[in-house]
Structure 1
């Protein structure tokens, strides 16, 4: 008797497992954001710490340098993993601009109402140039003060995105170490030769803003929509724009701008080295030169800007210790990356962008209420400090829930409508 056999079941296709979030990076983001809040609270609430510690260690610079290392670690890899420049920028725009627009509008409203510090005269005198500079997020590299003081770091994030995009389109992948060393070596050279804001001094702020916006728009149009040769030309335009603004027109000076870029690409190099023993063996010693060169450049050049000698010495110390502290903190996070992270620390990382952009507004309210810290006891000021952090975290939770998260979900949906293209935007 012949036994009937059933056909084999169809092969099951298992979905590709989603990449889990790296919670240690979220923890570093959240920690860095709270450190920046602490720095900005010193003048109105804890002037004792400002007087004793700030000449030796800048909490704010330390926090943003940790941010920059984290950005350097994750951003280029996210572009390389997806392989689609347009999808990358869709998600970036929806990640950055909605909350930025809210913070900018609130900052302008606070200034008009007298709650916030008054708008800088340059913004009031040249509103169209200031608005256009802010829309590019390159305002600090265009000699335009931010309507909210913390916006300055976004200019360096944007310059980094432009360089990463250009490198990807031109096929220069996995070059974080060489780029980091190039910027670190270029920092003292450019800093010694180029005064801050050179382009705007020679051409005028309005002209530089208009040219930069035009090059940015044209470069993006070419990179996102053109033929391969056109894309390459657009990538070159974006890279030249970013490097020119960093070296020739930043508000803080060429050496500090290039040191920041070296730090961000240092994060990229560390990511590649983590995944390649060959890279670690070949370049591990070299990446250690980046913070060393950044500190040496600060000690050699200093801020300039007509500062008194005592203030220059304090800046050199505070910048140098902040740079060393940021690299050591990131190295500690990297070493402990496989440890369990408390959920609250990971959550603070999720809302860190809201903490960073919204805390100056909450701080100005506290300033208006407390007025004179010398008239309050230490206990009262510590209570205000706790209240400030609680208010900032609450505002950040609302900002993330009702602004950031919906915008990010929309950006992901729009990006997901495009098929994944590995290395096809070059």
Structure 2
């Protein structure tokens, strides 16, 4: 009797590559919020495409950017998710100390590993570093150690690191509100920041890039920011309530000042980014019954109106600040809304798996692209096949960094936080 033909999933024959990749994705446990992982996955792929299209699909990118900025879309979705997750994490723990332990071991290890690999590749001549201008190596290193480098007048070694500066500023602001017991005022914070953005545009307030660094010097601003941030984290993690309040304010006020006065993007956009994150927090409040959905919807209307109006009136015909930015912003808010609407449903493992490794996707892909640009060079015409090959090669690499760097450090962070809570 003839044996039956082998099926694609038969033990005698390995499954195809897509199936093997799918099986390799980390499973999402019941405690994880799958819809947020799905949003992270979408956001990460959007940012990956935004940067990789410069290398593999330049013609398509030039046609797309005037109408839709894929990079801004991705980071705005990330900011909405962070706004939802970060206050939730802090308030669930109820401890600033364990919050900072979790954040530091979530963000820093992979970032440090990726930068170290980039520096090693540069030393071997396989990758080019971004131009950091006249800044010394020590100045650049100290600025990156704070993760506020984009707000300290120092270019990021990796293009994507600019968003981590706004994330860090948001962490400091969230801790400030928590220690002063104003954390439930997040809708008011979102509305205030959005209105300030609109007012700055209407009033014609346009600060030069890195205004504080230009006035006082990059080195002094970085030194003061690093010392202040270290003191703020230590004080806010203390056991005394007055000390925690002092530490929160000590970190939150400078963080807001850096976003408003020392960013490299326009003032209105920096304020809108913070407003968007606090809008995510407002959604968290409504979902937990701390605010009404009607009030949260009103908050969203104000933030959307101010953001779109600011982008429109600030624009001078440039597609980045008008059509491209506005369409990206609106679709990011819509994407978050869709994720919120399906939050009770089970999502495909590939979707949540991409979200689980989204931080690796976000940080690793620029290094791989830098190597390609420095060795092979960019394509002059669109090549969809190479774009697909790049993403296919990127996924296993990010799975590796997740399992070897991210996951162990997160487990260590949870164990350390648990010991601190028990002490």
Instruction: Name the TM-score, length of structure 2 as normaliser.
Output: 0.88
Q: Closer, same or farther in 2 for the Cα pair 1:64/1:420, shift >3 Å?
A: farther
Q: Deviations over 1:159-186 (max 9, x none)?
A: 0000011111111122221111111111
Contact 1:194-1:248 within 8 A present in 2 as well: no
1:200 CA displacement = 0.7
Aligned length: 392
Q: Which runs of 5+ in 1 are unaligned?
A: 1-17, 303-308, 422-426
1:190 CA displacement = 4.1
1:128 aligns with 2:138: yes
2:248 alignment partner in structure 1? 235
Contact 1:66-1:330 within 8 A present in 2 as well: yes
RMSD, aligned CA: 1.9
Q: Closer, same or farther in 2 for the Cα pair 1:228/1:275, shift >3 Å?
A: closer
Q: Deviations over 1:246-273 (max 9, x none)?
A: 1110111221111100000100001111
1:183 aligns with 2:193: yes
1:395 CA displacement = 1.1
Contact 1:366-1:388 within 8 A present in 2 as well: no
Q: Closer, same or farther in 2 for the Cα pair 1:373/1:197, shift >3 Å?
A: same
Q: Closer, same or farther in 2 for the Cα pair 1:277/1:219, shift >3 Å?
A: closer
Q: 1:362 aligns with which of 364, 368, 372?
A: 368
1:317 aligns with 2:323: yes
Q: Deviations over 1:174-232 (max 9, x none)?
A: 22211111111112334532513210110011111011111111212211125222221
1:397 aligns with 2:399: yes
Q: Which runs of 5+ in 2 are unaligned?
A: 1-28
Q: Secondary structure at the match of 2:340?
A: helix
Instruction: Name the TM-score, length of structure 1 as normaliser.
Output: 0.88
2-side partners of 1:189 and 1:115: how far apart? 47
Further displaced range: 18-27 or 96-105: 18-27
Further displaced range: 191-200 or 165-174: 191-200
Q: Larger Cα Rg: Structure 1 or Structure 2?
A: 1
1:278 CA displacement = 5.3
Q: Secondary structure at the match of 2:420?
A: coil
2:288 alignment partner in structure 1? 275
1:368 CA displacement = 4.2
1:162 alignment partner in structure 2? 172
Q: 1:205 aligns with which of 198, 206, 218?
A: 218
Q: 2:351 aligns with which of 331, 341, 345?
A: 345
Runs of 4+ in 1 over 4 A off after TM superposition: none
1:327 aligns with 2:333: yes
1-side partners of 2:329 and 2:238: how far apart? 39
Q: 1:287 aligns with which of 271, 294, 300?
A: 300
Further displaced range: 346-355 or 188-197: 188-197
